[in-house]
Structure 1
């Protein structure tokens, strides 16, 4: 049997039920594992091992009496720093401005607490959640466990690194343009962005979703049993729906799957990523699906317009800070958001209208097909210290062209590992493949992902504890 810290959430629950081990034993093993890993990757924020062990002991007592409470009783979890937890501040990657503590749990935190999941820690994110990078002025630098010189992506940087390094089986990230799926791809884990409103969140916003980041599709489905329960604090939530999330059976035969290899704009697609996505598509074809070549859904005008709108929005957030506080924000954020100060109201509104254009384009896709398969990222990796794959603050979104349309269109999308690179410059780094379904088809997307995961049948492989060298500090 794998070591306790390597077990999936479903394996942990099976083990608790069979009395093979207890939540206390799991928590103790995990703390030891974290002590070895965390100094290398810096994935956790507000890590409180004593409170974690105490909660595990209470769970152990419930299991010993045969009275577990909740579907996740005794299972370790983390929450992205941006997701409020009662009694703790939300530094938003900067620690600037008023840092009052949260008076209540945000919906994802509340749902997991109801199921007695064990909160291990929060996870790191970049400033304002507006970089796809592990770089933060408050948290410092979060590194990729596969190679400490490489970036995790973001903004759910710590969640991706923690999942890959085995710092617990279940992690929650947030995603407004790819912030769950991008680090999932670069860290070799599963990242699921549900339909907007399927997982209630607060604060809510156009395209903003919370979703699971795990080592398996089954664990992502297990998290959805808790996360998808309704919460009226999210005025954009979907109506409550009874879904058997753990039913992951699907007959792929007869499905029409659009193969979108080109993004329409942004960074060019790496040849190795193209190969792995094509091979993944062929696995679905072998299972009986019909592959349909598909044109991009995104245009340069759409991406640039969204960029302008987000600049204006971010500049508004920066104006809430004092001049001294603004100087402490990451230079890449300041250099990018400064453009928002020079946009007219008409230009900002035009930028926002591009979210509607994306919605129209993505929704039209499903008139002809049942699902989309595409790359998650255009590139395999980039340096840990960079704020984005371009390292250019004036072009920070060239890598999100495969992911952001589905946020604005509100469709469910998932990234899973499709294999590993062989190129000399980025050997043995994970490569993500993305599956997308129609709005409200969250369960279908998880089922389809489970079929692809099974057919890919990748050998179990996770990062090894690194030996630090003088080049990486």
Structure 2
């Protein structure tokens, strides 16, 4: 099996420029790996090998003439199923809906194509994107390449599994409560949930973000050069900004960092998670940063209110389904949605009001620090066929306590691998920054990559 799919996007672009590699040979190698491995990992859907090779040939011609279309010209990428790509159906991860065919590319996909990226196909997700799991009533059960019996996380399940397997150096996911950071952490990858509005999305919604999932911080930064370009369809997006996406390691001496092992909500962290995050914080302190504890800043009313609001929202979204269609929704999700059927309008509004409360609390607590260090998950891993670590729809959000506050506060947050459990599963460190400081968060991640030492080899499935 070719090693070409394991090369970072930054290396590929340099090799194309110097004519040491061709986008066509790299794309063929990526497609061959997916064809050989994905029966086990089940990360992809709606693959487009013919379209990918056509795009690669066009890229090859541009590189030969010295006129690349953009920073990602010829780089293989995948796109999460709920990000529209023209001509491809969007089942939203569920067997319950009559999937519509996308009539245009969503902003992220449009920017990728304009930059010359080679879109290999789509990646899988759970029903309506409402699980931190690879379990779906429509797609095959996505599995974690580090251990096929274990969960890749979600909802960008396929994107993160594809990253760990080396299907493409850049894989695009979405995040409204942790859905790029959570699976990236379980799969040993890097992911950025950018500041709200930094990457245009369509349709926009409170807390919703798109973000890259990669193997290196430098590749995430390279992707951000393209994904952060403006799109008028997102009326909530940030103004265009000329940012330095170079991701050079940030000098750490003199920085004030918060270390938070308990946000006030969610399950208690496993001892292995605490040890990994504490050890990561020690590296920052040894490099000259001041690390101080950050006390819990969220409360149960916030997460329970958000639960009520999201149940009501998805209950409304699925109200038009027939009984036959509703029966096809993943039972865990169906039970969760139906748990909101008896909520009053007042209950729902009070739940919605917890979004600004969570935002204010998160921003206030983190404001004294340049950056904050936290876990991504409270747990190390969980079985592949579980809908969530507790697998209990009555307690659906106990695992997102470290992530969701930064969606509501609109702050950037990065997941980067910081170690492995005794069962050899990756553990993620989350680095959060102030609003709009996306480049600083990436540079903090690059600094950590430089300090943490060599990583374990990525999983392989050669026969």
TM-score with structure 2 setting the length: 0.98
1:375 aligns with 2:371: no
Aligned to 2:272: 272
Aligned to 1:81: 81
Q: Which of 425, 440, 446 does residue 436 from structure 2 map onto?
A: 440
CA distance in 2, matches of 1:8, 1:247: 14
Aligned to 2:318: 318
* 1:384-463 alignment runs, 5 A limit: 384-422=384-422, 427-463=423-459
1:7 aligns with 2:7: yes
Partner-residue secondary structure (3-state), 2:28:
helix
CA distance in 1, matches of 2:424, 2:63: 40
CA distance in 1, matches of 2:356, 2:385: 34
- Cα deviation for residue 77 of structure 1 reads 0.5
1:140 aligns with 2:136: no
- Deviating more after overlay: 64-73 vs 177-186: 64-73
- Cα deviation for residue 309 of structure 1 reads 0.6
TM-score with structure 1 setting the length: 0.96
Partner-residue secondary structure (3-state), 1:459:
coil
CA distance in 2, matches of 1:368, 1:408: 19
- Cα deviation for residue 99 of structure 1 reads 2.4
Question: Quick check: 1:297–1:405 contact (8 Å CA) kept in 2?
Answer: no
Aligned to 1:285: 285
Question: Quick check: 2:91–2:98 contact (8 Å CA) kept in 1?
Answer: no
CA distance in 2, matches of 1:97, 1:368: 46
- Cα deviation for residue 414 of structure 1 reads 0.6
Aligned to 1:150: 150
Q: 1:53 to 1:429 in 2, by over 3 A?
A: same
Aligned to 1:471: none
Aligned to 1:128: 128
Q: 1:466 to 1:339 in 2, by over 3 A?
A: farther
Aligned to 1:175: 175
Aligned to 1:107: 107
- Cα deviation for residue 36 of structure 1 reads 1.5
- Cα deviation for residue 365 of structure 1 reads 2.1
CA distance in 2, matches of 1:147, 1:466: 15
- Cα deviation for residue 248 of structure 1 reads 2.0
CA distance in 2, matches of 1:366, 1:277: 17
Aligned to 1:470: none
- Deviating more after overlay: 65-74 vs 340-349: 65-74
- Cα deviation for residue 320 of structure 1 reads 2.2
Question: Quick check: 1:40–1:466 contact (8 Å CA) kept in 2?
Answer: no
* CA displacement 1:60-92 (0-9 Å, x = unmatched): 122122222211110000111010111122110
Question: Quick check: 1:133–1:388 contact (8 Å CA) kept in 2?
Answer: yes
Number of aligned residues:
462
- Cα deviation for residue 247 of structure 1 reads 4.4
| Structure 2 residue runs without a partner (length 5+) | none
Question: Quick check: 2:135–2:142 contact (8 Å CA) kept in 1?
Answer: yes
Question: Quick check: 1:411–1:438 contact (8 Å CA) kept in 2?
Answer: yes
| Structure 1 residue runs without a partner (length 5+) | 468-473
CA distance in 2, matches of 1:239, 1:401: 30
Question: Quick check: 2:249–2:445 contact (8 Å CA) kept in 1?
Answer: no
1:221 aligns with 2:221: yes
1:27 aligns with 2:27: yes
* 1:158-197 alignment runs, 5 A limit: 158-197=158-197
Question: Quick check: 1:152–1:160 contact (8 Å CA) kept in 2?
Answer: yes
Partner-residue secondary structure (3-state), 1:151:
coil
Q: CA RMSD in A?
A: 1.2
CA distance in 1, matches of 2:243, 2:95: 39
Question: Quick check: 1:175–1:209 contact (8 Å CA) kept in 2?
Answer: yes
CA distance in 2, matches of 1:460, 1:97: 41
* 1:299-338 alignment runs, 5 A limit: 299-338=299-338
CA distance in 1, matches of 2:95, 2:22: 37
Partner-residue secondary structure (3-state), 2:269:
coil
- Cα deviation for residue 460 of structure 1 reads 4.9
- Cα deviation for residue 100 of structure 1 reads 2.5
CA distance in 2, matches of 1:95, 1:68: 40
Question: Quick check: 1:192–1:220 contact (8 Å CA) kept in 2?
Answer: yes
Question: Quick check: 1:164–1:215 contact (8 Å CA) kept in 2?
Answer: yes
